[in-house]
Amino acid sequence: MLAPHVEQDWEVRAGSLEWTCWQTAEHIAHDLLAYAGQLAATPADGYLQFDLVVRPNASALDVLEVMRACAGLLCAALDSAPPDMRAWHFGPTDATGFAAMGMNEVYIHTWDICQGLGLPWRPPADVCAAVLGRLRPDAPPGNPVDVLLWATGRIRLDDDHPRQASWVFRIAVD
């Protein structure tokens, strides 16, 4: 979705975020790599002490390539994770939690970037439904795209569900 638009100004804000589109793409890559690292090392009580740094002179296309690489690393880590594996993310989290968080990062922040670039795009409903099912099983009924956008503080769902100023996913498992 984003690659055809790398010649646009990626220094504009990504939707309602404080980050630019470039910074938001960097954030996606960072989180995907962090999730892959957590799965690979399986720490029981904290986060690995590393960060992804994308060079400041990287183009939008460069950042998207880093994002794709980090997504591949997360997929490889998910593929090799045994069903009983647990790694830290606000508590012991299984592979399904990391997979759902990765999908959420990619799709929600791609939506943010599209908002900033003026592109009419929405995440796929089936992915949104899967993310909600794992991370927000208590979410209200409705169109899964709209509900996930609401659950992540992007939109007002209806009169009973105003835009959220803060939100938390249920990630850890017992």
Domain count across the chain: 1
CA quadruple 17, 23, 24, 27: dihedral, nearest 10: -120
CA 115, 125, 74, 86 dihedral sign is: positive
Q: What pLDDT, on a 0 to 100 scale, did the predictor assign at position 72?
A: 98
3-state secondary structure of 92: strand
Is 168 within a domain? no
Does residue 166 carry a pLDDT above 90? no
Q: Which of 14-18, 143-147, 159-163, 170-174 has the lowest mean pLDDT?
A: 170-174
Is 102 within a domain? yes
Angle between helices 95-117 and 144-151 (to 10 degrees): 90
DSSP 4: G
Q: What pLDDT, on a 0 to 100 scale, did the predictor assign at position 165?
A: 84
Is 132 within a domain? yes
Distance CA 83, CA 63 (A): 32
122-141 pLDDT, tens digit per residue, is 999 999 999 999 999 999 99
Q: What pLDDT, on a 0 to 100 scale, did the predictor assign at position 74?
A: 98
Q: What pLDDT, on a 0 to 100 scale, did the predictor assign at position 164?
A: 84
Q: How many residues belong to the chain?
A: 174
CATH of the domain at 121: 1.20.120
Bridge-based pairing state of the strands 87-88 and 92-93? antiparallel
Does residue 42 carry a pLDDT above 90? yes
Is 95 within a domain? yes
Range of the domain at 66: 16-151
86-111 pLDDT, tens digit per residue, is 999 989 999 999 999 999 999 999 99
Q: What pLDDT, on a 0 to 100 scale, did the predictor assign at position 163?
A: 87
Is 49 within a domain? yes
Q: What pLDDT, on a 0 to 100 scale, did the predictor assign at position 159?
A: 87
Q: Are 91 and 17 in contact (CB under 8 A)?
A: no
Q: What pLDDT, on a 0 to 100 scale, did the predictor assign at position 168?
A: 83
Distance CA 117, CA 138 (A): 32
Is 79 within a domain? yes
Output the pTM of the full model: 0.95
Q: What pLDDT, on a 0 to 100 scale, did the predictor assign at position 158?
A: 87
Which of 130, 164, 134 has its CA nearest to residue 144?
Answer: 130
Q: Is 125 left (phi over 0), alpha (psi -120 to 50) or beta?
A: alpha
